[in-house]
Amino acid sequence: MRAEDGRPRIILGVSGGIAAYKACELLRRLTESGASVRVIPTASALRFVGTATWSALSGQPVSADVFDDAHEVPHVRLGQQADLVLVAPATADLLARAATGRADDLLTATLLTARCPVLIAPAMHTEMWEHPATRENVAVLRRRGVIVLDPDSGRLTGADTGPGRLPEPAAIHAAALRLLARGAAPADLIGRRIVVSAGGTREPLDPVRFLGNHSTGRQGWALAATALARGAEVVLVAANVELPEPAGVKVIRVGTAVELGAAVHEAAADADVVVMAAAVADFRPLEPAPAKIKKTDAEPDPIVLTRNPDVLAELCASRRPGQVIVGFAAETGDAAGGVLEHGRAKLGRKRCDLLVVNEVGPGKAFGTPENAAVILGLDGSVTEVPIGPKEALADVIWDLARARLS
């Protein structure tokens, strides 16, 4: 339910961990993006950041007690009226209470009454995150449709490092905006494991130079973020991408086509859907120079190329029953045919379930926030997606892939 001025209503729950201070930046980002934010800290959270701070940053009253303003029934009304409930950080204790349906403070009561999307960003020590009890609590919440982000790996309190670090506020904010954009749409990829490749591979010519392409990875990033918002477990194989990692997504960094192929094949072994959005080099230098190729008065020696493995074709040939494979075709028209003709020929060769065909060129596809495409199905279907945000194209791709899942 939107606020009277049309702004989305967000409940920001904060539980009692040292990462509570990062929620202040998250709160600032949410309010600056136009949301009306009500903060509900737990009693323990108030030991780290006080009520005055939350009230000043949000411009809203702050309470952790179900008996405050009891005549307004806050433990029911807040959840009923919210467009999004976001908990960051969420401790192991908070996850346990949410998974078992406890309602012993205002935040857990709000979680029980919420009928909007719920996003939880855990933060705790590695041993607590990896404990079977915590893992089971996370699994229970995810089965119910709650989006629980995996924590980052890095420096924790003291000298400890490992998985359990709260994702950066900017990444949590981006995930929250994706959920708000989906509104009341169901998390229809819960329990599905997704693999997405993104970016452009680079094939070394010498220690300084490489053969590459213009892909920035934006479309693959949009695919990963939208799949996460729909409840999927996402692995993102990223080739030379310089974008902030999406919160809750496992990112595997690669450089060359051979490295990307190995990573994708390993990740795809138990995946429900594999989307090859990366621009993978078709060729690589047969023998990269061991030292920098110097410029002299003589003409340079020709560079002998050899074929790279066809990762998409290999995936299609080895797919297991029920697995859906989605390919991308960045095409230009030429004397041999138009963009769609080349796309249909590629679909016939690769035999993927879906092929996303887009025309590339100056200001088109690569490096832009928008994209347009025609999605060809192996079953003969044709879906045209007009120019729009890359997230919109990503959602259409997931709609079509989901319809093909057994």
CA–CA dist 15, 45 (Å, integer): 5
Amino acid identity at 131 = H
Catalytic positions: 213
| Token representation of residue 81 | 């009226």
Q: How far is CA 351 from CA 17, 41, 111, 265, 383, in A?
A: 50, 52, 45, 17, 17
Q: What Rg do the C-alpha atoms of the chain give, in angstroms?
A: 24
Q: Which residues contact 341 (CB under 8 A, 6 or more apart)?
A: none
> Is 402:189 a contact under the CB 8 Å cutoff?
yes
CA–CA dist 123, 234 (Å, integer): 19
Shortest CA distance to 356 belongs to which of 336, 380, 379, 330? 330
CA–CA dist 241, 218 (Å, integer): 9
DSSP state of 274: E
CA–CA dist 11, 109 (Å, integer): 12
- State the greatest distance between any 2 C-alpha atoms of the chain, in Å, as a whole number: 88
